[in-house]
Chain A
Amino acid sequence: MATSMNGDAMISCRDVWKLYGPDPEKFLTHHDGEPSIDTVKDAGYIPAVVAASLDVMPGEILVLMGLSGSGKSTLVRCLSRLIEPTSGSVHFGGVDLLAASGRELIDIRRHRMGMVFQHFALFPHRTVAENIVFPLEVQGVDSAARRARADEILALVGLEGRGGYYPRELSGGQQQRVGIGRSLAVEPDVWFLDEPFSALDPLIRREMQDEFLRLQSVLHKTIVFITHDFSEAIRLADRIAILYEGQIVQLGRAEDLVTQPATDYVRNFARDVQRDRILTARSVMGDVSDAPPDAETVEAGAVLREIAPAVLASPHPLVVIEDGAAVGSLDRDAVIDAVWGANEAEGTHSGAG
C-alpha cells in the first residue's frame, strides 16, 4: 500500500498497529515496525490491529467486516483515537489525529465525529432528548438551542413525541434510533457505526438498515461502518474491508470481493451471497463483437438481477453500454454461469441452489 497520505481522504491511516502485551512500543521498534504475525504471537503479544492502512473518501460508506476478534472494533477506535494505536499514523480531515492534544481531540470529537454503539450506550439517567443533545450540552450550547435541535433530530430519526421518555422505556430498535440521533446531533463530518444493528432482531435490523440508507441519502456523511454480517456489508457498503486477525486481507467493492477474492477466507464469505444482486453487467460481460449491432442494450452498472429477464429472454447476446457507448456483450450463458455456476467454476463444492 501507498505510504503517503491521501490528501483528498476524510480519514487516512497508514501502518496502524495495536498490540497488547507487556511493552508493545519497544517490541515494535525492536522489529523495525514490521514483525510477522507469528513473531508477535510467539513473543506473547496479542495483535489486535496489524499494519492497517486505508483511506475513507468523503461521502463514502466504508464497511469494516470481520468476525469477532478480527480487530475491526479496535481499528475503528484507533481511527477515532478512543484507543491509542501502538504505532502508525491517522489523519482526520487533514489533521494529524495522533498528534492532537487532549483539548484538540475533544474539539474534534465535539464537532466532527459521531459514533453509534453496538449496545446503544445510552445514558440511562437521561431522557431521550437529553441523550440526543448530550454532545451539545457538553459543548455548552444553551438550552433553547438544544431543545430546538432535539426536536429536529427526533423528527429525523422518527421518534417524535418520545423525547421525554427514558431509554429503558423504549424497544431495542427505538433505542438505537436514539443512539443514531445522538451521534448526528452535532452534524459530524464522519460517522462511526460500531455494529449498530447486531443487537437487534433480524426484522428490526432490516428496517434499521433501510432507515440508515434513507438517512445517508439525505445527509451524505463519510461513514465507517462495522459489521460481522457479510450480507449487511454488501447491502450498505460502497467499499468493504475484510479483516482477519487484525489484518486487512482485502479492501474493495462488494463485486470485487465476490469475483476476485484475495484469500480463501474472503471466498468463504462471498460463497453464500446472492450474486445476482451484486454482480453487474460490467463484471461478467464478454467481448463487444459477440453481440449483433442491433441488439437491445443494458447498462454496464446494472446488477444482473435487474437485467437477467431481458438477457435470458433474448435469443442473442445483448449489448452492454456505458455512458452511451457499447463496451461489451452479455449472453445467457454468461449470466447463468455468473449467478448459478460460479461455485463449480471455482472448483469448490457445488451447492443445490
Chain B
Amino acid sequence: MAATVESAAPESLLERFHRTKGWRMALLLLSPYIVIQIIHQAAPGLFPDWLSKLGDFRFLPDWANEALLYVKDEELLGLFNFKDVTRTVSGWLEYPLDLSEQLLISGGDSFGWGPVPWIVIIGLLAGIGALLGGWKLAALAGACSLYLAMFNTFGWGAVPWVVLVGLFAVAGAKLGGWRLALLAGGCSLYLAVFGVWKDSMITLSIVFVVAPLAALIGWASGLAAVKARWFEALLVPVLNVMQSMPHFSYLLPISVFIGIGDEAGAIATIMFAVPPMARLTILGLRSVSPEVREAGLMSGCTKWQMLWRVEMPASRPQLLVGINQVLMQCFGMTVLASFVGTRGLGLPLLNYLQSLRIGKALEVGVAIVLMAIMLDRLGQALGARRPEHIDMTKSWTARHPYWIGGSAVVAAGIVLARLTEYAALLPRGGIVSTDRLWELRLPGTDIVLIDGRKGATVSTEPFWEWMVDWVQLNLKSPLGHIRDFMILEILFPMRDAFQALPWIGLLVLVAAVGWRFGGWRLAAIVALFVAYLAFSGFWIESMETLYLVVAALIVSVVIGVPIGIFASTSDRRYAAVQVILDTFQVLPSFIYLIPVVMLFRVGPVAALTAIVIYATVPAVRYTMLGLRNVPADMIEAAEMSGCTRSQVLRKVKFPMAFPEIMLGMNQVLLFGLLLVIISAFIGGIDGLGDDILLARTEQALVGEGIVAGFNVAVIGLTADQLITNYARERKAQLGID
C-alpha cells in the first residue's frame, strides 16, 4: 500500500484491476465468458462448433483400457507380469486376513504358515510387539497368537463374543473412563446381540490387518519425504491427486488386477488410507520444535537416535491422529469395498439396498454407525492421551488395573464360552426358527419393535420396517411433490444450462479467476484442467456431475452457513454441534444413502439429498470455525463503536470469516464429488459416477471408469486450486492465518 501511495507513476490497468473488489471484480472476471456466451447464442455462425462441443473423443478411455490390458497381460520389460505381482501381493495378504478372521469370528483348525511351527510365529509376533511398543504390546501380540495356537491344539473356536465385548469396554475404560467404557461396551454389545456380529467381525478383521499396514506404509513414505527433499517433491502432488480421487477409483484398477473379494478390498483400502497417514507424518515430524531437536543434538544423539528417540516420540500426538484417521478411512473403505465383493458389513447393506429391504438395510446401517463411532472414539481417546506419572508406592496390581481387568475378562469369557455356546458365538441374524419366544411392542399398539426367536439373535428389523412404512404412508405424497418440483423446475433446467456451456467459455472463466488469484501460473494450470475435461471424452458427463455438485453446494450453503452462524454464538452450542459434526464425519459415506433411498427411492433428488447431508458438515464446520476465530478484541471494538449484534455479524465477523467459509465451500465441493459417485449407485442420474460404477462390473469399461474417476479428481483439483489461492490471498490481506 505504502508503495502505491509513494509512487507518482499512474496506476496501470492491471494494477487497477487487481484492486477491484466485490461484484465489480466478479463482473470483470465474468465478462469474457459473457461475451463468449453472447456470440455463441446470437451469432452461431461466427462461433465454430468445436469451440462449444468437442466431438465424441474416446481416445483417453481407450488408451487407458489398452494400457491396463497391456500391463495386466504382457510381461513388463520382459521381466515379470504385473498381474502376477499384484496377485502375489494379494496372496501375502490372504494369510493375515485369514488369521485375523479366524481369531475374531470364524475360528480355525490350522495355525502355522506352511512349515513354520506356530511357536516360532508367536515368538516373532511378540518380538515385533516388544520392539514397537515394549512389554505391553509384546504381551498383547503374544496372547493373541497364543490364542490362535489353541485352535488346533484344543479345538477352541474364535474369541468368544463376550470376551471381545468385555475387552472393548476395558479398552474404553482405560482410554476414556467409564463413559467411553459404556459407549464401547454398548456399541459392541449391539453388534453382538442384533445379528450383525459375524459381518461386523469380518469387517473388523480386515481393518485390523489393513490399518497397521496402511499406517506403516504412510508413515514410511512421510518419513522419507521429510528426510529427502526430492521424494517430497514427488510424493506431495501424488497425495494431492490421490486424496481428491473418489473412493471408487481405487476399486477399479484393483478389480482388474486382483479380481474381486476380500484381498481386492484390502488392497484398495490400504491405498486409500496411506495418504492421510503420510501427510500427518510429515506434519508431525515438521512440527517438532527446533529447540527439542537441538536438545537432542546437544545431548549427542546420532542421526538414528535423533529419529527414534527424539523426533518420532515427540511427534507422537500427530502420528496418533494419523493412525486414527487411517483406522476410520480403513473402516469406511472396507465397507464400501463390498462393491468389489469384499465381505463384512458393507455386503449385506448393499444387497438390502438393492432389493429395497430398507428395514434390514437400516439395521445394518445402525451397526455401521455404531461401529464407526466406537472405533473413532477409542482412536481419538488414544490420540488424546498424555503420559502421566505413576505412583510407584502403589502395588503392581493397583498400577495396572486395566491389564488385570482385561485378563479377567478374557479368562471369565473363555470359561463362560466353554459352559454355554451362546457366550461363544451368537448365531447369525436371520430366522432360524419361526417360533417367536418374546417380543417387544410399542406400548399401546401392536407394532413389534424387537422380536426374539428361538435360536436366532434378536432383530430390530420390525421396528425399522414399521418406520419405513410410516414414512411411506405419511410422507410419500408431500415428498413426491417436492421431488417432482425439484426435478422439473430446478434440477433439469440447471443441468441443461450446465451442459449447454461451451467448454471454451468455462475455460476462459476459470482461467480468468485463476489469473486473478494466482497469476499466470495458476491460470495456466486450471485452464489445462478444463481443457483436459473437454478432451477426455466425458465433457457432458463431467458437466452433469458438476451441476449436481454445484446444486448440492448451494443447498448445503443455504442450510449449513446459518447453522454455523447459530452454533458459533455460544460455547455450549459450539461444543454440541462440534460433537455432532465429528460423528457425521466418521460415518462411511455409504450410510448416507439409506435414509435417502427410504425417502426418495431413486433419482437426482435422492442423490442430491445424500450429497447435501454429507457435504453440509464441512459447510457448518468451516463457518463456525471462521466466525469463532475472529479475534475477540475486534468484536469488542465493534461493540464499543455501537454495533448491534447483527451489525457485528455483518460488518465485522462475516467479512473476517469469509476466507475460512470459502475454504469450507471447497470442502463441500470435494465432499460432494466423493458422494456424487456413490450416489450413482441409487440410480437415476447420469454423469461420471455412472461410468465408474459400470466399469466395476464390465471389465471392458474399466478404462472409461478410470478416466471418469480422474475427471472427478480434476474437477476437485480445479476448485481446490482456485479457492485455496483466493483464501490465502485474502487471509494475508486480513492478517489472519
Contact A82:B305 (CB < 8 A) given known A110-B299, A164-B389, A165-B389 = no
| B295 partner residues in chain A, CB cutoff 8 A | 115, 117, 121-123, 179, 182
- Report the separation of the CA atoms of residues A82 and B316 in the bound assembly, to the nearest whole angstrom: 24
Pairwise interchain contact B316-A109, C-beta atoms closer than 8 A: no
| Chain A residues in 8 Å Cβ range of B313 | 123-126
* Chain A contact residues: helix, strand, loop or mixed: mixed
Interface string of B270-310 (1 = CB under 8 A from A): 00000000000000000001011011011111100100011
Starting from the known contacts A122-B295, A125-B316, A169-B389, 9 additional A-B residue pairs (CB-CB under 8 Å) come to A110-B299, A119-B289, A119-B291, A120-B291, A121-B295, A124-B386, A134-B309, A166-B389, A169-B388
A107 and B297 CA atoms in complex are apart in Å by 11
* Cβ proximity bits A265-305 to B, threshold 8 Å, 1 near / 0 not: 00000000000000000000000000000000000000000
**CB of A275, distance to nearest CB on chain B (Å):** 36
Q: Is A148 among interface residues, defined by CB-CB distance under 8 A?
A: no
Docked CA distance A127–B386 (Å)? 12
Complex CA–CA separation, A82 to B310 (angstroms): 16
List chain A residues, Cβ under 8 A from B297: 82, 109
Which listed residue, B298, B309, B389, touches A80 by the CB 8 Å rule?
A: B298
Expressed in whole angstroms, the minimum distance between the Cβ of A186 and any Cβ of chain B is 8
The answer to whether B298 and A114 touch across the interface, beta carbons within 8 angstroms, is: yes
Task: Find chain A residues with CB under 8 A from B316 CB.
Answer: 124-125
Closest 4 CB pairs of A and B: A110-B300, A121-B291, A135-B299, A121-B295
Q: Is A138 an interface residue (CB 8 A)?
A: yes
Number of B residues with CB within 8 Å of any CB on chain A = 24
B390 touches A164 (CB 8 A): yes
Question: Once bound together, how far apart are the Cα atoms of A109 and B309, in whole Å?
Answer: 17
Q: Which of A81-119 touch B at CB < 8 Å?
A: 82, 106-107, 109-111, 113-115, 117-119
**Interface check A168, CB cutoff 8 A:** yes
CB-CB under 8 A from B632, the residues of chain A are: none
**A interface with B by C-beta (< 8 Å):** 77, 80, 82, 106-107, 109-111, 113-115, 117-127, 134-135, 137-139, 164-166, 168-169, 179, 182-183, 186, 192
Looking at the assembled complex, report how far the CB atom of B713 sits from the nearest CB atom of chain A, in whole angstroms: 37
List of B residues within 8 angstroms of A182 by Cβ: 295, 299
Tell me the nearest residue of chain A to B300, going by C-beta.
Answer: A110
Say whether A82 contacts B298, CB under 8 Å.
yes
Q: Kindly state whether residue B314 has any CB partner on chain A within 8 Å.
A: yes
Distance to closest chain A CB from B346 (angstroms): 38
Most chain A CB atoms below 10 A, which of B299, B301, B386: B299
Q: Which residue of the partner chain A has the closest CB to B309?
A: A138
CA distance in complex: A124, B314 (Å): 7
Q: Is B299 a contact of A134 with CB atoms below 8 Å?
A: yes
- Complex: how many Å from CA A186 to CA B302? 16
Most chain A C-beta atoms within 10 Å of own C-beta, residue among B291, B305, B313:
B291
B294: contacting residue among A82, A111, A164, CB under 8 A: A82
CB A76 to nearest CB in B, in angstroms, measures: 11
Kindly state the separation between the CA atoms of A336 and B301 in the bound complex, as whole angstroms: 55
Most chain B CB atoms below 10 A, which of A119, A121, A139: A121
B387 is an interface residue with CB less than 8 A from chain A:
yes
**Complex-state Cα separation, A117 to B289, whole angstroms:** 11
- Assembly CA distance A197 to B313 (angstroms): 26
Residues of A within 8 A of B309 (CB): 134, 137-138
What separation, in Å, do the CA atoms of A36 and B55 have in the docked complex? 67
- Residues from chain B with a CB closer than 8 A to the CB of A111 are 300
Closest chain B CB from A130 CB (angstroms) = 10
Q: Which residues of B contact A115 (CB under 8 A)?
A: 294-295, 298
Q: Report Cα–Cα, A179/B314, bound state, in Å.
A: 16
Interchain CB contact under 8 A, B291 and A118: yes
Q: State whether the Cβ of B392 lies closer than 8 Å to any Cβ in chain A.
A: yes
> Complex Cα distance A107/B305, Å?
14
| Inter-chain contact A125/B300, CB cutoff 8 Å | no
CA–CA, A138 to B300, complex, Å? Answer: 7
The 8 Å CB contact of B386, one of A109, A120, A123, A168, is A168
User: B291, A117: Cβ atoms under 8 Å?
Assistant: yes
Please give the distance in Å from B662's CB to the nearest CB on chain A.
35
**Quick one: which of B298, B309, B316 has the most chain A CB within 10 A?**
B298
Question: Which of A115, A138, A164, A165 is the most central at the interface, judged by chain B CB atoms within 10 Å of its CB?
Answer: A138
Docked Cα-Cα span, A139 to B309, in Å, equals: 13
A135→B300 contact, CB < 8 A: yes
Chain A to chain B contacts (Cβ below 8 Å), 16 pairs: A106-B301, A109-B298, A109-B299, A115-B294, A117-B294, A117-B295, A121-B292, A125-B316, A135-B298, A164-B389, A164-B390, A164-B391, A164-B392, A165-B389, A179-B295, A186-B300
Of A82, A123, A164, A169, the residue contacting B314 (CB under 8 A) is A123
